[in-house]
């Protein structure tokens, strides 16, 4: 029976079951396959946080929940692999990063607290100037420039503890292959496909919860998004109230497959909590 045809009592039972299954996966990480009930459970847990009106930073907290799940998952995924990735290797940090609003709020609130006290201080005015410079620059020009991410500070990610899902889930078996791809636009990068897929799965669960909560699920370019809200500590509350606080910031679409999966879970979730 579809969840929109269930009685209130049956709905509560499905919810309880999904929450229990979701909590188990949250504790151990995503496995090779994710069942529908487990996916629904995780999205439900994230949705509960996103709709807890008593928590002003609940969007960023929802991102943190999913990123914590992803970290557990990725630790399993890359265990034993001879990766090229290491601190100081940053050829991959020259691509535009698109992420969700909750991920942006998490980065922005971390920067408010840590930008000046970080081991390598982060100069927000310089980042803001780079965002302004990039405004109106075409994607092709950006690609040709291979300009590093403005949050790359002294060769390392300046927001490493709160970096968004796409940055977390990219691993390569060869740093040299990454260099060749960036500097000479040649060769294939041997990325760890399983890690990338888990990142996409995590993002799907976060965005399903976001859209079931009636919030905007649009992709937002990371640095411009952070700079749009960094000086506005009330931006998260305004976004949660339905305001478009990222007006004019470039976005990005999800692949049709990921979008379908997201819409499917959001629909199930909506029928359960609606």
Residues at the site binding ligand SF4, with contacts judged by CB under 6 A:
84-85, 89, 91-93, 97, 149, 151-152, 157, 159, 163, 167, 170-172, 175, 178
Helices (H) and strands (E) in the chain, counts: 12, 5
Nearest to 40 by CA among 205, 213, 211, 260: 205
CB atoms within 10 A of CB 193: 10
Distance of CA 62 to the CA centre of its chain: 10
CB of 241 to ligand SF4, least distance (A): 27
Tell me whether residue 73 or residue 223 sits nearer to ligand SF4 (CB atom): 223
Q: How far is Cα 167 from Cα 80, in angstroms, rounded to an integer?
A: 20
Largest CA distance in the chain: 61
Tell me whether residue 6 or residue 152 sits nearer to ligand SF4 (CB atom): 152
Tell me whether residue 23 or residue 95 sits nearer to ligand SF4 (CB atom): 95
Q: Tell me 187's DSSP state.
A: S
CB of 172 to ligand SF4, least distance (A): 4
Q: How far is Cα 25 from Cα 28, in angstroms, rounded to an integer?
A: 5
Q: How far is CA 212 from CA 48, 56, 111, 164, in A?
A: 11, 19, 28, 21
Tell me whether residue 149 or residue 224 sits nearer to ligand SF4 (CB atom): 149
CB of 68 to ligand SF4, least distance (A): 17
CB of 144 to ligand SF4, least distance (A): 18
- Residue in the block written with tokens 């992420």: 99
The H or E element containing residue 70 is: helix 58-78
Tell me whether residue 40 or residue 149 sits nearer to ligand SF4 (CB atom): 149
CB of 261 to ligand SF4, least distance (A): 24
CB of 29 to ligand SF4, least distance (A): 21
Tell me whether residue 151 or residue 268 sits nearer to ligand SF4 (CB atom): 151
């Amino acid at each position: 029976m579809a969840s929109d045809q269930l009685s209130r009592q049956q709905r509560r039972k499905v919810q309880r079951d999904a929450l229990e299954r979701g909590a188990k996966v949250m504790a151990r990480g995503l496995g090779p396959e994710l069942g529908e009930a487990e996916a629904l459970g995780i999205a439900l847990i994230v949705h509960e946080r996103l709709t807890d009106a008593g928590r002003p930073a609940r969007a960023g907290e929802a991102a943190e929940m999913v990123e914590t799940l992803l970290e557990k998952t990725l630790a399993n995924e890359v265990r034993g692999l001879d990766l090229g990735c290491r601190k100081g290797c940053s050829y991959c940090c020259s691509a535009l990063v698109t992420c969700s609003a909750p991920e942006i709020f998490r980065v922005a609130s971390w920067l408010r607290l840590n930008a000046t006290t970080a081991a390598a201080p982060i100069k927000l005015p310089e980042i803001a100037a780079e965002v302004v410079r990039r405004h109106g620059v075409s994607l092709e020009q950006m690609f040709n420039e291979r300009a590093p991410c403005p949050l790359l500070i002294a060769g390392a990610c300046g927001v490493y503890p709160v970096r968004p899902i796409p940055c977390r889930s990219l691993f390569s078996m060869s740093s040299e292959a990454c260099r060749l791809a960036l500097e000479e636009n040649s060769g294939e990068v041997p990325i760890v496909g399983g890690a990338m897929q888990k990142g996409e799965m995590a993002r799907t669960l976060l965005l399903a919860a976001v859209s079931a909560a009636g919030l905007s699920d649009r992709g937002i370019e990371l640095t411009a998004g952070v700079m749009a809200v960094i000086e506005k500590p009330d931006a998260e509350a305004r976004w949660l109230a339905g305001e478009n606080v990222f007006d004019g910031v470039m976005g990005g679409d999800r692949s049709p497959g990921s979008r379908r999966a997201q819409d499917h879970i959001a629909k199930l979730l909506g029928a359960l909590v609606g």
